[in-house]
Structure 1
Amino acid sequence: MNEPQLRVGIMYEPKISFTLNGIYILQQNGKEYTGKQSASYVNDKIAFDGLVNEELVFYPKFYEEGSFDLFDVTIGIKFHWERKEDQRFKGALHFICEDEKLTAMNVLSLEDYLISVISSEMSATSSMELLKAHAIISRSWLIAQVIKGAELQKSESNYQSIVETDEQYIRWYDREDHVNFDVCADDHCQRYQGITKQSTKLVVDAIDATRGLVLTSEGKVCDARFSKCCGGVAETFENVWEPENHKYLQAVIDNPKAPAGYDLNLKDEDVAEKWIRTSPEAFCNTTDKEILSQVLNDYDQETMDFYRWEVSYTQGEISELIERKTGKEFGQILNLIPVERGESGRLIKLKIVGKKRSLVIGKELEIRKVLSESHLYSSEFVVERVGEENGIPAKFILIGAGWGHGVGLCQIGAAVMGAKGYKYDEILLHYFRGAELEKRY
């Protein structure tokens, strides 16, 4: 197989300003452009320099020398640290129309993309073993998504990610969001900020040392997921996304051995409650700022409660939030009842009981979206009702564990493993049990 070229969705606006650094050629008219430019959405077409086209493709005359800047790119979409920043990219700039806006895409080689992803997802000063491990899972995940996208396009059946009845609303978020490009640039896929964040020789060396190397299982490239902090146990794939079992994405205790004094049947409510309310030993149970700074960029370090956390809402706050997020009128919220937990203790289904109606919601990201202005850190939490009067609590406290979906590699856990002297292959095979390393190009 040859090194793939990728299409990465960067931003979505009615008008996009950009600067071409170096000479770029517009495929639609063969003309050369450089410097400041702008393109606008007009009636399902793109207006640029007197042209009106369905798409525009600017490619650098000299690939290694060319770059382009996009202004006011939103990063951390719908997360607590959402903000805008200017970003710079290598490769080609491709505009299309989607949902009455322009979509700006970056087209570049997979290995160049990885250099940015490793620097965007983590600190470029991380240990070499951690960087190598992350290069391999990022490469594997990406190739798996490209293959999956191609298979879905060929398939006759529609990709379904919502199951809805009067009693329940179950949804997972994955491939259905992106049909016109391979991956997006935000945390929904892998955080990608072009060459804005300074990379280091260490990152480039980690990419070069693992070039073409992927995780495989039964001959197929692994859909290698990762999240910030598993909370002590990694979750299975099918409890977060579509109901498909992957042998290499199973529950993993993030520790050399099971922590003493704990039952690990975290599907059980009493067992899960003890686990979440305490702080068992795990690779990702660390407050070491030097290790955390390897994985977390500045804005991720704005909060440090990754392993265990707490959020509280007044009755007025939670009833208004749930109504706004679901679009359904519950009235005052009487209870939040765990219905089903996964292997890590994450809630797969949660019953919201209101004065006017009840509804079971899932999967984990839907729960996190409904119970937060952006996203709860995870769906692994227990609920305390405070100040109950006539069956109506004055306040709800959510006590939780972990940050993210918890499937696959735990970034903070992997950083600790690297600091403890584990090699990249040992880190990978700790989280992806039974997988193999294979060079594909």
Structure 2
Amino acid sequence: MIWSEYEKLNRKQYEELQLERLKRTVERVYENVPFYRKKFDEIGVKPHHIKTLRDIRLLPFTTKDDLRENYPYGLFSVPLSKIVRIHASSGTTGKPTVVGYTKHDMEIWTEVVARMVTAAGVREHDIAQIAFGYGLFTGAFGLHQGLEKVGATVIPISSGNTEKQLMVMQDFGATVLVCTPSYALYMDEVANELGIDRSNIKLRLGLFGAEASTVEMRREIEKKWGLFATENYGLSEIIGPGVSGECEYREGLHINEDHFYPEIINPETGEVLEEGETGELVLTTITKEGMPLIRYRTRDITSLIYEPCKCGRTNVRMTSVKGRTDDMLIIRGVNVFPSQIESVLMGIEGIGPHYQLVVTKKGYLDDLEVHVELVDGKLLERYAELEKLENKIKHRIFTVLGLNVKVKLVEPKTLERTTGKAKRVIDLRNKTN
């Protein structure tokens, strides 16, 4: 099922629409956002210079630091009286990044999420349990309004209280689960502890987002819950969830490119890369009123696929995010993404899906230690088997990364659990200098 005609335009139609909307957006920010007018003037670019889509390369990038420096409302392009909703990022470091939505923006947001969940397989007979936290975070509200638009029944249970989540899941007959991949795995753990009969669970579809996951983790979730797991992508600065999502073929995430214009750049030089090359995703909002963003650097590493999908949609797809430029670790000259380690770990028997990467520094060299939970804690008493498993993990990681790492196998359920984004990297370098 295809929700909107805008998901099956031909390439020429997309480009004509995108250019028209890009021109209007550039004019809007130049006239109404002092930050952009100053940046454009500094490099001698005016709205009339945008004559083709390629001319977007004349425009400056926007970064998360720009949002923080204009906190809270400095990038709004309409008066505050026109803003009907305010959201913000988690703000784990410093002040959060604030975003504002007009009534029209809210309609767009609802529409793009409706497309995304329809592509994933949600129908009006579904009962969707949203285990994201409701609040300034965009995830819960974004999925909520899109699911309601397609006619699904929404259970806005929010995050936390896992035992209650599982009770509601059974009693209310939830068929769709909305949460982070890591929380889905933790819920399975708690369900096993409680001895829950899986025949009482009706889940058939997972809408997972807010953190990157690997194919291996998805298979693990599907095996444990007996559902079809899909990935979706969004970020509050652009709109929230609804930027892109997988269809039933899961061969890339369909970008709603009539609203968000994507580019892939070399993260070091800023150069726009050719189709199919892997680099940093840059997004320009071309329909937003409240806070349009020009060439926003997402820091997410991916590539774009322009050929039409088997599902019938013709909009461009992005591959699953490989990692973030600011999450990438450089260990003794080797670039390491947590997702690469995760892919290795998920294929090894005897260890659980929960892991952490601990980075330390000895002298001038960085060291990486991989902490992984055992499925059976009794293995800690069998040194020969433990050593064999540690060596197996080290060898697999060396094969993939060409890097020797330390491996520490720990008791089951000793690594931190979270109802939101899992913290995979513990960087102790400043503490060990």
TM-score range, shorter chain: under 0.3
Q: Which one has a larger percent helix, Structure 1 or Structure 2?
A: 2
Q: Which one has a larger percent strand, Structure 1 or Structure 2?
A: 1
Q: TM-score, normalised by structure 1?
A: 0.23
Relative contact order (alpha carbons < 8 A, sep ≥ 6): 1 or 2 greater? 1
Q: TM-score, normalised by structure 2?
A: 0.24
